[in-house]
Amino acid sequence: MDSSKYHTIDQRVIRGGEGGGLSTLDRMLTEDPAMLALKSRIRDVAGLDSSVLIYGETGTGKELVSELLVNNSPRKDMPYLQVNCGAIPENLIESELFGYEKGAFTGADNRGHKGLFEAANGGTVFLDEIGELSLPTQAKLLRVLEELDACPNDLYLVFSAQEEVGLRGARTAAWSIDPDYALAVDVTDVDDTPGSEKLGTVRLGQGAAVKVMDRSVICHPQLVETLERLAAEREIPVQRDIMRGGGTDAGAIHTTRMGVLTGGVSVPCRYIHTPAETASLSDADACVRLAAALAQRPLEQP
């Protein structure tokens, strides 16, 4: 909504009353037709579960409109965070919005940093002067907004390290998050080359590999069944991944704390872990679609 077309709000609104907190429509005192139209628009939009774009010239009251929207919405008792995008250096804005883990970069806080989106979980983030963000950052932000609407679960994306030397990154992340469900996304060896020891069941070009077991884990049957059912519903090609050797981050995750319902989806690769490693684009696409389908599915607490 364009706040500037309703004149300059801070010249026509009395923000009276004791005690602070968010502004309410009752505290917007006006008889101006344009301002009355704005109050009506706020009332209509406040009940919607949707992102809202508020635009207008500097000083026309975008922040006040944001407060009014939140205070008249179902999220009024949830966190409300404001940030002036133009006041944060370009090299720090992504860390502020999305957060970071300890050791993510030189000078990072040893405790890590919770991003605004995570801190306002269930509530509202008001990004003032969003036009000051660089175009690449705006593109990332738009993608996040699209995905947030598509995921009904409290979703964490973890990019782990040191998987080949003890699953160290996965073990640390799983202990910190304590998830109900986990999906390890990795690559897996195919068993269709000359001289193969026949340790697995996966073939190149036959779809995403749904992990059943390997040397480190037997995946939870509930998650295996859920993944295969989603694949059938969405016509995503899949194959079962049963190996006598190898392992993924699932090996550390499934035994964390009281146990985690863990599954795995892998991209089949020929000549794995060599300079000649080969994969099928259709298999990789199937893995992306299957992982996204699971994230979009409401999951019940075990």
CA distance 298 to 262: 16
CA separation, residue 114 to residues 155, 172, 258 (Å): 14, 17, 25
Whether 28 contacts 43, CB under 8 Å: no
Cα atoms in the Cβ-side hemisphere of radius 13 Å centred on 264: 28
Is 163 an active-site residue?
yes
List all residues 6 or more positions away from 89 whose beta carbon is below 8 Å from its beta carbon.
Answer: none
Q: How far apart are CA 292 and CA 180, in angstroms?
A: 17
* Cα–Cα distance for residue pair 187/158, rounded to 1 Å: 16
| Host H or E run for residue 118 | helix 116-119
Those residues with Cβ within 8 angstroms of residue 126's Cβ, 6 or more apart along the chain or in another chain: 63, 66, 70, 80, 81, 82, 83
Catalytic residue among 129, 163, 164, 233: 163
Report the relative pairing of strands 208-213 and 238-242 from DSSP bridges: parallel
Q: Rounded distance, CA 218 to CA 277, Å?
A: 26
The residues assigned a catalytic role are 163
